[in-house]
Amino acid sequence: MDQLGQPRFNGVYVAASTLFRSDGSVDLDACQAHFARLAEAGVAGLVPNGSLGEYEALTEDERGGVVKSAMDSAGKLVEVVPGVSGKSAAEARRWAEHAAQAGCRAVMCLPPTSHAPTADEVFAHFQEVASVGLPVIVYNNPYSTRVDLTPALLARLAEIEEVVAVKEFSQDIRRVAAIRQAAPRLEVICGCDDTLVEAVFMGATGWIAGFANAFPRQSVELFELCVAGHWPEAIERYLAFLPLLRWDADPRFVQAIKLAQEEVGWYGGPVRLPRLALPAADAEEVRASVRRYLAVA
């Protein structure tokens, strides 16, 4: 919460995709144009170098360049909250320091990705990241990290002053209420697109969204309907959006979201190894879902 008791990360934050050229190199000019387009569409912020941003497949120079591109193109319009995850606490802290030097005012971080850490190791990891002094969104994605930031563990992490929110991606909608009860100081941010309406109903105050890369305006409108409690209209729009949003919980979500960007007329481009392009049938399913949604959105 901010000094007035309002949610610090209220609104739609786009888990921004990283755009590559056909030869696999990062296209920072395309990234800048994409970030600017999202900011102008009315989102509250950008989250570059997250899972959707394929941060693990980037070199250090590329990763730093993505943050600079986001700040240069959109930093005066919206908040930029880079992902600073790393295999070690030292790596994550270094990226948090980089974010601070770039002018970012908060960061998002997974638990250590080198191994399945103990609860004490998770706590020590986030203590190290928090030592930089920026507000930290802890990112719970047990499918990627092999550790689940349970409500009890989040209650312990909430003892760290700089840990202020959690991006919740356990895909268990019961978690929102459980986290609010166990760690009431933390803001709960919906991290899985196809749980958005349920999460806000139970008290989530923000949304770090994937398909907002292709549908920023529609995502903002849906979120605002939920926050305002206009549930019948929100549910109607949500049901139309769900065939696409469900891809956000698929391991191939990066490919699907980039295809959606292409289908709406924006550049999405390829993914970088070890990810491969979707098989033709799956790619057409995504494209057809985009066309159906555009017809009613």
pTM: 0.96
Residue 5 DSSP code: S
pLDDT of residue 213: 98
- 211, 219 in Cβ contact below 8 A? yes
pLDDT of residue 4: 55
The answer to the question of residue 1 being in a domain is no
Q: What is the mean pLDDT of each run of 10 residues along the chain (297 residues)?
A: 76 98 97 98 98 97 98 97 97 98 98 92 98 98 91 98 98 96 98 98 98 98 98 98 98 98 98 97 98 95
How far, in Å, CA of 258 to CA of 270, rounded? 8
pLDDT of residue 195: 98
Give the 3-state secondary structure of residue 163.
strand
- Alpha helices per DSSP H over the chain: 28-40, 60-74, 89-102, 119-130, 142-145, 151-157, 175-182, 196-201, 216-227, 231-245, 253-263, 280-296
pLDDT of residue 268: 98
The answer to the question of residue 63 being in a domain is yes
The answer to the question of residue 294 being in a domain is no
pLDDT of residue 5: 67
Paired strand residues for 79:
45
- The total number of structural domains in the chain stands at 1
The answer to the question of residue 248 being in a domain is no
How far, in Å, CA of 56 to CA of 115, rounded? 15
- 73, 39 in Cβ contact below 8 A? yes
User: What are the DSSP calls for 81-133, one per residue?
Assistant: --B---SSHHHHHHHHHHHHHHT-S-EEEPSPSSS---HHHHHHHHHHHHTT-
The answer to the question of residue 258 being in a domain is no
pLDDT of residue 222: 98
Comparing C-alpha atoms, which of 180, 193, 167, 170 is closest to residue 246?
Answer: 193
Measure CA 59 to chain center. 20
- The set of residues, in sequence order, having a beta carbon less than 8 Å from that of 191 and lying 6+ positions away, is 139, 140, 141, 167, 168, 169, 208
- 129, 96 in Cβ contact below 8 A? yes
Tokens describing residue 92: 């994550």
pLDDT of residue 2: 62
The answer to the question of residue 151 being in a domain is yes
Question: Tell me, what CATH number does 99's domain have?
Answer: 3.20.20.70
The answer to the question of residue 207 being in a domain is yes
Residue 13 DSSP code: E
Q: Look at strands 107-109 and 79-80 and give their pairing.
A: unpaired
Domain that holds residue 172: 11-228
